[in-house]
Amino acid sequence: MPSLSVLGADGKPAGTVELSDVFGGPVRVPLLHQGIVREMADRRVGTHDTKGRSEVSGGGRKPWRQKGTGRARQGSIRAPNWKGGGKVFGPTPRSYDKDMPTAMRRGALRDALTAKIADGGVVVVEQFAIAEPRTKVLTARLKSLGVEEVPTLIVVAERSAALERAARNIPWVEVETAGHTSAYQVMRHTRTVVERAALLALQEALGT
């Protein structure tokens, strides 16, 4: 079973946390890939739209008569081969949502955390709280934990207005709760800073 060191508010070791075999299994790359592709697809809005020949304005009559002009026959100036005509097989509004069973989604998150723990990309803190909602305070706290300017995911047990306000001006920091963390978020960020309570909540949820 993996064991992780827990850092205190000053960035010094304050104990360890013993993890169960939930995060000790093999990483199933196909499942992890499927979970990430699903989330990225679900984030697509799908509002793209083009007009076909029946939707563009104009073209109510034949440009010229059928025979006798020496030119190719044409039925409308809004045909796809004309400038300003309709689009052939263009994109239309659609949903990109992909179905995935809950057990598979949890498995993808479990494998993402397992890979991140094995790679040494997880930093466990006793409690991640800042005194005031300032960006400078948050960056100083992360620096004390050994986290530089790399994509960082902060997983907390409960949302804090001060923490979210301080993090919104840092483009490489994202704050999320344990109940809403996804495999895509874990794999997208280089480092994951997680509270002890949030890690234990994830372990309990992913172990069922």
CATH of residue 38: 3.40.1370.10
For residue range 137-177, what is the model confidence (pLDDT) as tens digits? 999 999 989 888 899 999 999 988 999 999 999 999 999 99
pLDDT of residue 3: 83
Residue 208 has pLDDT above 80, yes or no: no
Q: Exposure of 147 by Cβ count < 10 A (0-12 exposed, 13-18 middle, 19+ buried)?
A: buried
Neighbours of 115 (CB within 10 A): 18
The b-or-e profile of 57-92 (16+ CB within 10 A means b, else e) is eebeeeeeeeeeeeeeeeebbbeeebeebbeeeeee
The residue behind tokens 């946390």 is 17
DSSP letter string, 62-98: -SS-SSSSSSPP-S-TTSTTSTT-PPSS---------
Percent of the chain having pLDDT more than 90? 76
pLDDT of residue 8: 86
pLDDT of residue 148: 87
Average of per-residue pLDDT across 33-58: 94
**Residue 42 token pair:** 């679900």
The residue behind tokens 């939930």 is 22
User: Which of 60, 78, 95 finishes a domain?
Assistant: 95
- Are both 105 and 165 inside the same structural domain? yes
Residue 98 has pLDDT above 80, yes or no: yes
For the entire predicted model, the pTM comes to 0.82
Residue 68 has pLDDT above 80, yes or no: yes
**Residue 170 token pair:** 């840092």
Average of per-residue pLDDT across 103-115: 95
- Are both 65 and 162 inside the same structural domain? no
- Are both 137 and 115 inside the same structural domain? yes
Residue 88 has pLDDT above 90, yes or no: yes
The residue behind tokens 């040494």 is 120
Which strand ranges, in their side-by-side order, compose the sheet holding 13-18?
13-18, 3-7, 122-125, 191-195, 152-156, 173-177
Average of per-residue pLDDT across 44-56: 94
- Are both 34 and 110 inside the same structural domain? yes
Of the candidates 43, 23, 45, the residue with the CA atom closest to the CA atom of residue 204: 23
Please report, as a single letter, which amino acid is at residue 154. Answer: I
Distance CA 59, CA 41 (A): 38
| Cβ 117 vs Cβ 25: under 8 Å | no
The number of distinct structural domains making up the chain is 2
- Are both 107 and 151 inside the same structural domain? yes
Mean pLDDT, the chain, whole residue set: 92
Domain carrying residue 70: 46-95
- Are both 74 and 112 inside the same structural domain? no
- Are both 75 and 111 inside the same structural domain? no
- Are both 109 and 156 inside the same structural domain? yes
pLDDT of residue 1: 63
